[in-house]
Amino acid sequence: MLDDLNTYAVQHQTLSALVVGAVVLMVAYFLALPREHVSPILANVPLVDISEVKKGQVELGGLQDALSMNCEKYRGQLWQLKTRHGTVVVLPERFISELCYLPEEFVSLEAKNTDRFFTRYTRLTPTSIGHDPAHLLHCVKHDLTRNIGSMMKEIFEETEYAFNSSLGECNDWKEIALGNVLTRAVALVSGRVFAGPELNRNPDYLQSIIDFTFVAFKAIEAISRYPAWQRPVAQYWVEEVRGIKRSLNQMEKILASIVPERLRLISEGKAPSNLTTWHINSVPAEKKKDLTVHAHTQLVVSTAAIHNTTMLTTHIIFDLLARPEYIGPIRDEISEVLSHENDNYLTKSSMTKLRKLDSFMKESQRIHPLGLLTFERKVMKDITLHDGTVLPKGCCFAVPAYFMAMDPERWGNPQEFDGNRFLKLRGDNSGGKYTFIETGIGQNDLIAFGHGPHACPGRFFLNNEIKVILSYLLLNYEMKLLDGESRPENLVSADGIGPAYSKKILIRRRR
Ligand code: HEM
């Protein structure tokens, strides 16, 4: 009997110790959890909550409708939009000019990206791997932009290779999934500029930058579906987040032989001009051999370049095929400009002469912007705006770019697709006003590339890249929508308006 009691007491004590231990561990886990940022909700500012809208509904236009309806309802005022990704204060454009030049300690794009892209888990910003974003920015803003002119031949050669190798002879009409063909072409062209000819056609490198582009966006979506307290552990089983880590490791392996060789060439003054060289030159001495930071930069810049450029080019081609009356005049313009070149490719200075193409591209972007919101920032210190409105520390704000681009008060006939709209606005003006790369907040301006010092620095490059790709396709191929089909419906998601990426079109070599 005593033995039984003793056994029971020992078992009871063991069980109690286990329960107490488990509770202590759980409390310790919750205390140790990294605190995720939650945007404050502003008092007395209307709040529209679409965070509970089911995924399918949002993708069918819930976000787009919520923005259009409420921007109209609260015209000229602030209002707040709560989505699954957090709460954002939607600002009328009259506040942009006073906000866009505020220093990073007041408003930050990097901090917004950190929260919005869950970079603690996805590693999609340089800061998330302890790397200063200034180096990547310097490479894109200065080195890439400065070198576009000298890289036009390479951009053309790679475009030619990309389409010849993926389309083959193509003498008869052939069905292609436009988005897939363009992704590979854009990856090859960007890769040529970012990594050079010794790497960009290497199947491992090419696959790695393409895979990363897709997995990065899926990882943000996948991790956002877990409650904040589960994310620190969920990151280890969410396949897309694991995919990001795999791609980073693979890119490190690919660069393992390239970086030491590049350091040698740099020391001998013989290094080729591309992102690998620029980034090595830009980082401090202790990071020059750091494969992780170089691999990360290659992948992050490639993602910005491949995803957005492919989506935008797909939109433009769908618009051209839906309005074939524009194709002839644009094709004639390209032939005319090319006829004044010494070689068979367009140079940077010729690009400015493609005014019809430029106008068509901008109109396509006006009607199908990739982002419904732009100029997104996180407030780092309380800010008082000119009319006394206070944006408290921690809140995020954005400007409704799509609403502005479709606002009858700004455009008169916003629903009408007019490929020559910006051509007419430009008139004989030879300046940059109303060109594809221009950003602005006045009447007939677009802010699809953001605005101010953080406006997309990649747009100078992509402007040339897209024009080379479109010129090549228009001069060498005929394209049309499948019989009886009209422009494929867009896919609206939390990130913006994407084209029906895998829709097929018909293509054949021009006779
Ligand atoms: C269709 C293509 C693209 C679109 C629509 C686009 C759009 C944008 C937008 C809206 C921003 C934020 C600007 C702001 O909030 O003021 C941005 C920033 C940025 N983009 Fe792009 N982008 C595109 C392609 C590219 C490419 C090809 C590159 C690189 C080669 C690139 C690199 C960047 C970088 C580095 C930033 C951050 C700038 C900063 O922090 O100051 N983008 N882009």
Asked whether 426 and 415 are in contact (CB, 8 A), the reply is no
Q: Answer for the pair 280, 288: CB distance below 8 angstroms, yes or no.
A: yes
State the Cα–Cα distance between residues 254 and 269, nearest whole angstrom. Answer: 23
Task: Quote the ipTM score.
Answer: 0.98
At 298-345, the pLDDT tens digits run 999 999 999 999 999 999 999 999 999 999 999 999 999 999 998 889
Cβ 457 under 6 angstroms from ligand 1:
yes
Closest ligand 1 atom, CA of 439? 16
**DSSP string over 177-231:** EHHHHHHHHHHHHHHHHHH-TTTTT-HHHHHHHHHHHHHHHHHHHHHHTS-GGGH
**Which one of 102, 456, 463 would you pick to mutate in the ligand 1 pocket, going by the greatest count of ligand atoms within 8 A of its CB?**
456
Which among 255, 300, 257 has a CA at the least distance from the CA of 276? 255
21 Cα–ligand 1 center, Å: 49
Please report the pLDDT score of residue 8 as a whole number: 67
The whole-angstrom separation of Cα 510 and Cα 170 is: 9
How many residues in the chain? 511
Residue 316 Cβ inside 6 Å of ligand 1? The answer reads no
- For ligand 1, atom 21, which residue shows the shortest CA distance? 456
**Would you state the pLDDT for residue 54?**
58
Pure H helices in 33-177 = 55-57, 63-73, 96-100, 109-116, 119-122, 133-138, 145-167
Q: Is the CB–ligand 1 distance for residue 304 below 6 Å?
A: yes
Q: Which residues is 47 bridged to in the sheet?
A: 80
Rounded CA-CA distance 368/372 in Å is: 9
CA distance 96 to 386: 11
Q: Between the CA of residue 137 and those of 110, 167, 247, 314, what are the distances in Å? A: 11, 35, 22, 26
396-399 vs 86-90, strand pairing mode = parallel
pLDDT for position 37: 61
Q: How close is the Cα of 259 to the center of ligand 1, in Å? A: 26
At residue 414, the pLDDT reads: 95
Q: What 3-state class would DSSP assign to 285?
A: helix
Ligand 1 pocket, 403 CB below 6 A?
no
Q: Band of the pLDDT at 297, cuts 50, 70, 90?
A: very high
- Ligand 1 binding pocket includes 108 (Cβ within 6 Å): no
> Looking at ligand 1, which residue's alpha carbon is closest to its atom 15?
375
b (16+ CB within 10 A) / e for 102-130: beeebbbbbbbbbbbbbbbbbbbbbebbe
458 CA → ligand 1 middle, Å: 6
Q: Is 380 exposed, middle or buried (0-12, 13-18, 19+ CB in 10 A)?
A: middle
Place of tokens 């193509």: 170
| 454-485 residue pLDDT tens | 999 999 999 999 999 999 999 999 999 999 99
Contact of 327 with 320, CB cutoff 8 Å: yes
Determine the atom of ligand 1 nearest the C-alpha atom of 144.
Answer: 30
Please state the atom number of ligand 1 nearest to the C-alpha of residue 137: 35
Between the CA of 305 and the centroid of ligand 1 the distance, in Å, is 8
Rg (CA), the chain: 26
Q: What is the pLDDT of residue 59?
A: 44
Nearest CA to ligand 1 atom 19: 456
Angle at which helices 275-282 and 239-267 cross, to 10°: 80
128 Cβ inside 6 Å of ligand 1: no
Integer Cα distance of 15 and 269 in angstroms: 70
Tokens representing 114?
């950190």
Q: What is the pLDDT of residues 371-426, one digit of tens each?
A: 899 999 999 999 999 999 999 999 999 999 999 999 999 998 999 999 999 999 99
Ligand 1 centroid distance, CA of 36 (Å): 25
For ligand 1, atom 35, name the residue with the nearest CA.
137
* pLDDT at res. 58: 47
Q: What is the pLDDT of residue 318?
A: 98
Is residue 499 in contact with ligand 1, taking CB distance under 6 Å?
no
pLDDT in tens, 103-162: 999 999 999 999 989 999 999 999 999 999 999 999 999 999 999 999 999 999 999 999
Annotated binding site for heme: 456
Residue 343 pLDDT: 87
State the Cα angle at 20 between 15 and 25, rounded to 5°. Answer: 125
**pLDDT level of residue 431 (50, 70, 90 thresholds):** confident
Nearest CA to ligand 1 atom 16: 450
pLDDT for residue 28: 57
Q: Specify binding-site residues.
A: 456
Is the pLDDT assigned to residue 73 strictly greater than 50?
Answer: yes
Distance 109 CA to ligand 1 centre (A): 11
Average pLDDT, the chain: 91
Atom number in ligand 1 closest to CA 110: 40
Rounded Cα distance, 215 and 209, in Å:
10
Distance 311 CA to ligand 1 centre (A): 13
Instruction: State whether the beta carbon of 313 lies less than 6 angstroms from ligand 1.
Output: no
Whose C-alpha lies nearest to ligand 1, atom 14? 450
Atom 7 of ligand 1, residue of closest alpha carbon:
449
